[in-house]
Amino acid sequence: MPMFLKVILLLINLFITIYLFLIQSFSLAVLSSLICCYQIYIYICLKEFENYNCFNKRSKVLSMICNLIILLIIARFIDVQMIKSSSYKKEINRQINGVIKKQGKRGNILDVEGKQLAYNKNTYNIIVDPTRIFNTENGELFLEEMKKQRFLNGDIKKIKKSIKYYKDKGSKYRVIEKKISETNKIAVEDLLKKYKLRKNEVFFETINEREYYRRSIYQYIVGNIGYPPNTKGTTKVGVFGIEKEYEKYLKGKRIEFHDTFTKKRDIKLPTSKDKILKELNGKDVYLTINDEINYILDDEMEKAFKKTRAEEAYAIIMNPKNGKILGSSYFSKNKKILRNPLFQDQFELGSIVKPIIVAAGLEERVITENSKFDVGDGRIVKYRHTIKEASRSVRGILTVSDILKRSSNVGMVLIGDLFTNEKFEYYLRRFGLLDKTKIDFPNELKPYSIPYKKWDGLKRSTMSFGQGIANTPIQFMAAFSSIINGGILYKPYLVEKIVDKNGVIIRRNLPLEVRRTVSTEVSEKIKKILENTVNEGTGKRAILNGYRIGGKTGTGQLPSPSGGYYKNEYLSTFAGFFPVQNPEYAILVMFLKAEGANINYKYGGSIAAPVFGEVVSRITQNKKMLPNEVKKFQNKRSNKKEALEEDTEVILKVNPNENQFEIMPNLIGKNTKEVFNVFKNSKYKIEIEGRGVVKEHFPKAGSNLKYLETIKIILEEDR
């Protein structure tokens, strides 16, 4: 080849190399520059090529070919390792890096004793890889065995056909069964081992579901979870009740991070980095609700709800000394509406408001417990409006105690007249009847009220006996509790504490004193008046022999949307507490639009008071609370150091006039026949559990039986 031609080719290649560098096509520029070098190498070799013998010529040609291959490899190395290294690293990371998603479990909701009311339950979807399952000799046998053992619900032929269809489409994921239990999952895993399916032909997808204990009872307190409106998220959140109120504590945290795996994504590479994860699970929420007490309340309310055929029924139990909600109940003929009227509905509560107004009068000292009022013939005219007594028998001069005992509307109007509008509003606000309680439950309803300056002349009079003022039951219960607990208004609450997985308490709700409503002296007077109201007045059906109970009945007229009140539709209520000397339970029972045989069976004293009595009876048995008279007897004997031991025989003391035992004998070790012989011809009802001889009995030996009607005997086989 002529020299000038060699120079021209070399210059052309050199210009091409420079041009490629200028346009930043570095891979081709490097290759072009190496070709330039190779050209020079070829020219040098060809210069002496004619002087070589035949063998050396062939060797030289082979050497040039090998050097060309090496040159191309070097060019490729430079391209991969230097010029395009970042893009290749990115592609490698895309292939081996995986995104790990971690979702913590939602926290549990428990009652005060630790019984789970809302908890998580794992179920599993069975997934097959259509591209693999039929490539094994045991794949079809495995599916047929699954169907035979009823782990698959569909038609096996259709399932196989569906899998083959998705195999042809190249799909690697097909759900063949949804939401199997943990037990069934273990059984399916055993089948996988039996048929030697170990290469991801079949795998499981974990589905975490929320389960609720006694859902019909607790759904109006515990609430539920669901998908937020107008979102496409896959994580459910609390949408009602405690689930919503404490969402930030209950929800499990969700995180995503990257790590490196082999191509199959089942083995981590040595270069992967372990992550130290923080706790992802939600916290456990302990309620103040006691499941046993709540069950008693709900059971009695359900029986009365069905019996009275009421439209709705509500009840709540609160500890008046601290504001803890111990139980609640709600029944409605309308099952579609999910709300809790105890916190989210307002009612004109009627006569149960009267004790609060009387307490305000005593605190303001415009009345005393001995003040007398003349209600005349049971009617009074206020601003051209006649206010009547509910009962025609309420006439003449009544004391303050009589006004509550006989539920006098006119008497309450006369007490209300002793207040100015400003002072009356002041006490309503002081008792919390004009504000939210701020209970830890979502969407509590604020009482509707207008300033006292805008009241008409009749407003104060009607509010005095519970009309014209609407409150939620929880607002009333907070106010009512304050007049029986010594005069302190407490903020009611539903959650006792919040605990993490290690049992560490991260939040505890403590009783919160909002303000003092009345003095301790006024509170004691109100308790005595309300005890008399039960024993001698409209609340007699709430009486439980041997126990001191206080309370007030109410039969509120229901307001009509068109104005005024319905004639024969009522809200029948009873608000009570026990024991009077040291109240531990305040209970509100309400029935809306009960369908009694006649109007007398629609009153609070006829419907709500008996339910209160039954609830109290069962609570005292459940908590083994002794009757008041028995306690007095035991304390007296203890002070004299003459208390009887349980295993000491007691001489039976009989009242000759009533032919009844006054002191409980020791029955331990006696058989059933001997027990009935002891109480032969007595008034007591004997309840016996078990078989054999007496293991224990209630009341204990030495207890006073004067006010008891039932004796419980527990038997055990004598071994």
Predicted pLDDT of residue 561: 82
Predicted pLDDT of residue 717: 58
Structure-block tokens of residue 432: 């919390």
CATH superfamily, region 291-622: DD-peptidase/beta-lactamase superfamily (3.40.710.10)
Predicted pLDDT of residue 10: 73
- In three-state secondary structure terms, 476 is helix
Angle, in degrees to the nearest 10, between helices 421-430 and 354-364? 110
| Nearest partner of 2 among 58, 55, 46, 41, judged by Cα | 46
Adjacent-strand bridge partners of 110: 116, 286
Beta strands in 25-171 (DSSP E): 97-103, 109-110, 116-128
Predicted pLDDT of residue 229: 75
Predicted pLDDT of residue 240: 94
Burial track 432-445 (b if 16+ CB lie within 10 A, e otherwise): bbbeebebbbbebb
Q: Is 546:580 a contact under the CB 8 Å cutoff?
A: no
Predicted pLDDT of residue 652: 35
Per-residue pLDDT of 588-639, as tens digits, reads 999 999 987 666 678 899 999 999 999 999 999 888 887 764 444 444 444 4
CATH fold of 639-716: Trypsin Inhibitor V; Chain A (3.30.10)
- CA separation for the pair 492, 480 (Å, rounded): 12
Q: Where are the domains of the chain?
A: 3-83, 291-622, 639-716
Three-state DSSP string of 300-351? HHHHHHHHHCCCEEEEEEECCCCCEEEEEEEEECCCCCCCCHHHHCCECCHH
- CA separation for the pair 696, 714 (Å, rounded): 5
Predicted pLDDT of residue 97: 65
| Nearest partner of 625 among 549, 686, 511, 534, judged by Cα | 549
> What parts of the chain have a pLDDT lower than 70?
1-2, 4, 6, 49-50, 93-101, 199, 231-234, 256-278, 597-600, 628-662, 706-707, 717-719
Query: Checking DSSP bridges between strand 385-388 and strand 550-559, what pairing results, if any?
Result: unpaired
Q: Write out the DSSP string of 516-539.
A: E-S-HHHHHHHHHHHHHHHHHSTT
Q: Is 256:100 a contact under the CB 8 Å cutoff?
A: yes
- CA separation for the pair 603, 616 (Å, rounded): 20
Helices (H) and strands (E) in the chain, counts: 23, 27
Query: Checking DSSP bridges between strand 174-180 and strand 116-128, what pairing results, if any?
Result: antiparallel
639-716 has the same fold as 291-622: no
Predicted pLDDT of residue 260: 64
Predicted pLDDT of residue 1: 56
